[in-house]
Chain A
């Protein structure tokens, strides 16, 4: 069952990435670079920072809105977290010996750093999801190639992507066939898995053989050539520069503290 769900999720993200919105139309290079700078800025905050992280939510929110992305689906993806960040951060309240007093409450500073980790996690994961949901994977790969990634590796990524869904369907069929014949026994045994994986491997090698012959029959001589010619437009540059500037501002000036102090001052 879990397999089906994963497959569906990947398929949905993949479909989303081919939509046509202002965000989708931005050059992939601009999006990749700004996302990386965003992530670096977020993780560069010190251990106990919380307030200054909040304004960063502006980016994923804006991109989701202008990119017509389904909010519920993305939130669900973020919540089904990779446990590692949470599990490790969870120990902070236990092991951090500093404590904080807040009005009348005293608690371990580890709670603050744990909250910081959770915020950073949400921000970085959202940034990655938004990037892939608004940029088709082939587009991303070509951007990475233009940015310097070796072309052999990029070809590898593109081939993988192309056959990802084919292989997943093939695997799903085998797994389903197994599940239908394993009355009672809940999960697959490891030796069965080894055999299934082995036979999948054989089918994959045979498929590679056929693909190679198809490539040869269309004149393949070793180089995978491409037609792509993406040109950078002024909108892309504008987007990238303005985003980076705002990220910089948010990183070095805590907007919430500024706002809050203003209000406090106004109230007093």
Chain B
């Protein structure tokens, strides 16, 4: 229960087309932490996220998730622990109905249909989407889709929740609902986003990535009020810290 560590040790990654996306990333995230990952476009944020559930494997260096070192053999096991929520819910909801989507994970974990149904119920309850079970994803609004996408990951009861731009397409109200919901989660949370106000609200720690390496790692309120640092990384102060 206390070993939900995510540790990157000098991780390098090169894409097949030759791009050196990660050039020695190192950090350590412990149980229950909420960490934001920020940086310019192309800095390597998404690449880092895709390593966390073994979709990508490091060219050099090692990754430890929980008690396991990430290898091709431990990938499936890692995916039980790490729930990855993608940027576009349309990519994440690929089954005909909400019920099918949220049950997809539990069923793949080998659970019985009854146990899976129970998980679905709890997950949908957490995201306030009970009653949507028989709807197809394209009948949902953007905010509802995001919520269901999160539910589909929660249903696997991961220890670590990783999210890529979770509020990107949400209207302000849905975004606020998302932020409030995230604050109630006890999982370890790792959130990559340009929405610095969201990071400020949800994550107490922040890691800045530039050109595939970590250039800053500390408390969100410190890092996100450092104008120079932010501007060096194509960012600016969170709106809530800017003076009008």
CB nearest neighbor in B for A159: B94
Query: Which of B60-68, B132-140, B168-176, B183-191 is the interface stretch?
Result: B132-140
Contact among A14, A136, A211, A226 for B91, CB-based, below 8 A: A211
Report B161 CB to chain A, min CB distance, Å: 12
Complex contact B95–A162 (CB within 8 A): yes
Please give, as numbers and ranges, the residues of chain A lying within 8 Å of B79 by CB-CB distance: 216-219
Complex contact B84–A217 (CB within 8 A): yes
Residue B108 CB within 8 A of the other chain:
yes
Report A159 CB to chain B, min CB distance, Å: 7
Please give, as numbers and ranges, the residues of chain B lying within 8 Å of A216 by CB-CB distance: 53, 55, 79
Report B65 CB to chain A, min CB distance, Å: 13
Residue B109 CB within 8 A of the other chain:
yes
Complex contact B108–A225 (CB within 8 A): yes
**B contacts with A, residue count (CB < 8 A):** 39
Q: How far is the CA of A213 from the CA of B55 in the complex (A)?
A: 7
Residue A263 CB within 8 A of the other chain:
no
Complex contact B100–A227 (CB within 8 A): yes
Q: How far is the CA of A162 from the CA of B116 in the complex (A)?
A: 22
Residue B233 CB within 8 A of the other chain:
no
Please give, as numbers and ranges, the residues of chain A lying within 8 Å of B116 by CB-CB distance: 227
Please give, as numbers and ranges, the residues of chain B lying within 8 Å of A141 by CB-CB distance: 96
Residue A66 CB within 8 A of the other chain:
no
Report B130 CB to chain A, min CB distance, Å: 16
Please give, as numbers and ranges, the residues of chain A lying within 8 Å of B134 by CB-CB distance: 18, 136
Binary contact readout B100-136 vs A (1 if CB under 8 angstroms, 0 otherwise):
1001110111000100110000000000000000111
Please give, as numbers and ranges, the residues of chain A lying within 8 Å of B203 by CB-CB distance: none
Interface hits, B50-84 → A, CB 8 Å: 50, 53, 55, 76, 79-80, 82-84
Q: How far is the CA of A162 from the CA of B95 in the complex (A)?
A: 7
Residue B152 CB within 8 A of the other chain:
yes
CB nearest neighbor in A for B89: A214
Please give, as numbers and ranges, the residues of chain B lying within 8 Å of A164 by CB-CB distance: 138
**A contacts with B, residue count (CB < 8 A):** 31
Residue B225 CB within 8 A of the other chain:
no
Q: How far is the CA of A226 from the CA of B97 in the complex (A)?
A: 11
Complex contact B108–A217 (CB within 8 A): no
Complex contact A138–B108 (CB within 8 A): no
Complex contact B53–A210 (CB within 8 A): no
Binary contact readout A89-121 vs B (1 if CB under 8 angstroms, 0 otherwise):
000000000000000000000000000000000
Residue A166 CB within 8 A of the other chain:
yes
Tell whether A221 pairs with B50 under 8 Å between CB atoms, given A18-B134, A166-B90, A227-B103. Answer: no
Q: How far is the CA of A177 from the CA of B217 in the complex (A)?
A: 43
Contact among B55, B86, B91, B96 for A138, CB-based, below 8 A: B96
Contact among A136, A214, A219 for B109, CB-based, below 8 A: A219
Residue B30 CB within 8 A of the other chain:
no
Residue A229 CB within 8 A of the other chain:
yes
Residue A48 CB within 8 A of the other chain:
no
Residue A165 CB within 8 A of the other chain:
yes
Residue A203 CB within 8 A of the other chain:
no
Q: How far is the CA of A217 from the CA of B108 in the complex (A)?
A: 11
CB nearest neighbor in B for A210: B91
Extra contacts, 18 of them, besides A158-B96, A217-B83 (Cβ < 8 A), are: A18-B139, A136-B134, A161-B136, A162-B93, A162-B136, A163-B94, A165-B138, A166-B90, A166-B138, A210-B88, A214-B84, A218-B104, A219-B76, A219-B79, A219-B109, A220-B104, A227-B116, A229-B113
* Interface of B toward A, CB cutoff 8 Å: 50, 53, 55, 76, 79-80, 82-84, 86, 88, 90-97, 99-100, 103-105, 107-109, 113, 116-117, 134-139, 152-153, 156
Closest 7 A/B residue pairs (Cβ): A219-B108, A138-B96, A218-B105, A210-B91, A225-B107, A165-B138, A217-B84
